[in-house]
Amino acid sequence: MKLPRGVSADRLIAVLKGLGYLVVRQKGSHCRLKHPGPPIHSVTVPMHNPFKTGTLHGLLVEVGERRGTTVETLTQDL
């Protein structure tokens, strides 16, 4: 599976908000999001534009494992 290119932090945060994540805080170039659960999960999104593919993949894998979905499903909304 090939990840989409040129994905911005704002777009990823919008997708995560659609999954139920809430922005807790932003300090400098990183934004912290939290899902109230179950299970409770927090993820830090660097405010890069665009993301490098490895960074994007790592974030999608982490969210997918916690939310019980796949990377392919998450990339459909990007």
In CATH, what number is assigned to the domain containing residue 43?
3.30.920.30
Mean pLDDT by runs of 10 across the 78 residues of the chain is 91 95 95 94 95 95 94 90
Q: Which residues pair with 56 in a beta bridge?
A: none
What pLDDT is recorded for position 1? 79
pTM value is: 0.90
Smallest CA-to-CA distance from 31 within 5, 51, 54 is with: 51
**1 in Cβ contact with 72 (< 8 Å):** yes
Please give the tally of structural domains in the chain: 1
CB neighbours of residue 37 within 10 Å: 9
In which domain, by residue range, is 31 found? 9-70
User: Do the domain assignments include residue 54?
Assistant: yes
Does residue 30 lie in a domain region? yes
d(CA 16, CA 26): 15
Which residue has 């993949």 as its token pair?
A: 57
